[in-house]
Chains A and B, each alone.
Chain A
Amino acid sequence: MGFLGDSIESIRSLQIRQVLTQIVSLGMIVTSALIIWKGLMCVTGSESPVVVVLSGSMEPGFKRGDILFLHMSNDPIRTGEIVVFNVDGREIPIVHRVIKLHERQETGEVDILTKGDNNFGDDRLLYAQGQLWLQQHHIMGRAVGYLPYVGWVTIIMTEKPIVKYLLIGALGLLVITSKD
């Protein structure tokens, strides 16, 4: 038994060690991605610091698949700023420009009207039934930075889930089989 047992033992211990390091490195990748995302949330003060433009309503400035970096500071919102807002009863946030604004004298509450640069009319048709203005709590953030095309990755992955599974599978296989 002596020689054979020893060699089997050595292979097994090597594999366990390799599997463990692979699990750790995979964990490192996942957690560092999470740290970057949460860190961005802290820095920008917005619950979703990066959004993907999904419609062509802001063309030619922003096209479908571009990404915007959001910032949520305490500065009051003003006309001309591009804000991302959630309307009650709609799941997908909208990225449009503020065209009218009324700020109350004492409370500082705001009434905001938005419009997409490429749309003909203002957004009252998109708001909830009978809603004329957006309030502060609808606003998720204002766009401060822009990067073209990068968002196509997420659009393709959400619309064609098969691509996502293929990609995850291939990456997983690569991590497991790589020997470095």
Chain B
Amino acid sequence: MHSFWYRANAVLTFGVTMLAAMCTLASISDNFNLPSPSAEVKILNINWFQKQANGNDEVSMTLNVSSDLSSLFTWNTKQVFVFVAAEYETPQNALNQVSLWDGIIPSKEHSKFWIHTTNKYRFVDQGSNLKGKDFNLTLHWHIMPKTGKMFADKIVMTGYRLPEEYR
């Protein structure tokens, strides 16, 4: 009854149960954090805008992203993945989401940032619908926890428009 293996088993079971309970509690505690992040994205320049040989429109732009995501960080946050996506509708597609820039914020100290960049991923449409297109720029974030549930949300910024002519 009180053999070595019996006790080893009891200790192991108790340890694993406690670890699981602590992970669960840490994950639950994330729900009490009500973040209030802010973001602003400016299009500084349309570098070029053309139709590819296969008929798809492609545009290159310079962006200025400034954001304060410090309120997203809790004690259970390992990192925050942040990205800016262009979102628009075309006659063919109900939703197009094209990621333009992304980054990993490793800690709260780096969560207030300001970056000046051309689009990291190619902004290519499926077809040729980008002339004079109204689109949204959305700043998404994806909170990757040390353990437990992952959270994601976004800030939508409207009122951007592509030029009427290729350049």
Instruction: Report if A97 contacts B (CB, 8 A).
Output: yes
Q: Indicate which residue in B5, B23, B104, B140 contacts A117 across the interface (CB closer than 8 Å).
A: B104
Instruction: Report if A24 contacts B (CB, 8 A).
Output: no
Contacts of A80 in B (CB 8 A): 81, 83, 85, 99, 140, 142, 152, 154
> Is the Cβ of B23 less than 8 Å from the Cβ of A79?
no
Q: Which residues of A contact B (CB under 8 A)?
A: 60-62, 78-82, 97, 99-105, 108, 111, 117, 122, 143-148, 174, 178, 180
Q: Indicate which residue in A102, A117, A146 contacts B96 across the interface (CB closer than 8 Å).
A: A102
Rounded to whole angstroms, the CA-CA distance of A81 and B144 in the bound complex is: 11
Chain B residue at minimum C-beta to C-beta distance from A79 = B97
Contacts of B83 in A (CB 8 A): 79-80, 99
Contacts of B1 in A (CB 8 A): 180
Rounded to whole angstroms, the CA-CA distance of A147 and B148 in the bound complex is: 6
Interface size on B, residues (CB 8 A): 34
Rounded to whole angstroms, the CA-CA distance of A86 and B151 in the bound complex is: 24
Instruction: Report if B95 contacts A (CB, 8 A).
Output: yes
Contacts of A105 in B (CB 8 A): 91-94
Chain A residue at minimum C-beta to C-beta distance from B147 = A147
Between A and B, how many residue pairs show CB distances below 8 Å?
84
Subset of 14 A-B contacts with CB under 8 Å: A60-B106, A61-B79, A79-B83, A80-B152, A80-B154, A82-B142, A99-B121, A102-B95, A102-B97, A122-B121, A146-B145, A146-B149, A147-B147, A174-B5
Q: Indicate which residue in B23, B96, B104 contacts A147 across the interface (CB closer than 8 Å).
A: B23
Instruction: Report if B126 contacts A (CB, 8 A).
Output: yes
> Is the Cβ of B148 less than 8 Å from the Cβ of A146?
yes
Instruction: Report if B25 contacts A (CB, 8 A).
Output: no
Question: Nearest Cβ distance between residue B49 and chain A, in whole angstroms?
Answer: 18
The 4 A-B pairs of least Cβ separation, nearest first, read A99-B99, A79-B97, A103-B95, A101-B97
> Is the Cβ of A100 less than 8 Å from the Cβ of B94?
no
Instruction: Report if B41 contacts A (CB, 8 A).
Output: no
Rounded to whole angstroms, the CA-CA distance of A36 and B147 in the bound complex is: 21
Instruction: Report if B98 contacts A (CB, 8 A).
Output: yes
> Is the Cβ of B97 less than 8 Å from the Cβ of A104?
no
Interface string of B88-120 (1 = CB under 8 A from A): 000111111111001010100000000000000
Question: Nearest Cβ distance between residue A103 and chain B, in whole angstroms?
Answer: 4
> Is the Cβ of B140 less than 8 Å from the Cβ of A103?
no
Rounded to whole angstroms, the CA-CA distance of A97 and B82 in the bound complex is: 12
Contacts of A100 in B (CB 8 A): 97-99, 121
A82-B150, A99-B99, A108-B94 known; 5 new pairs, CB 8 Å cut-off, are A80-B140, A99-B102, A100-B97, A105-B94, A146-B149
Question: Nearest Cβ distance between residue A133 and chain B, in whole angstroms?
Answer: 9
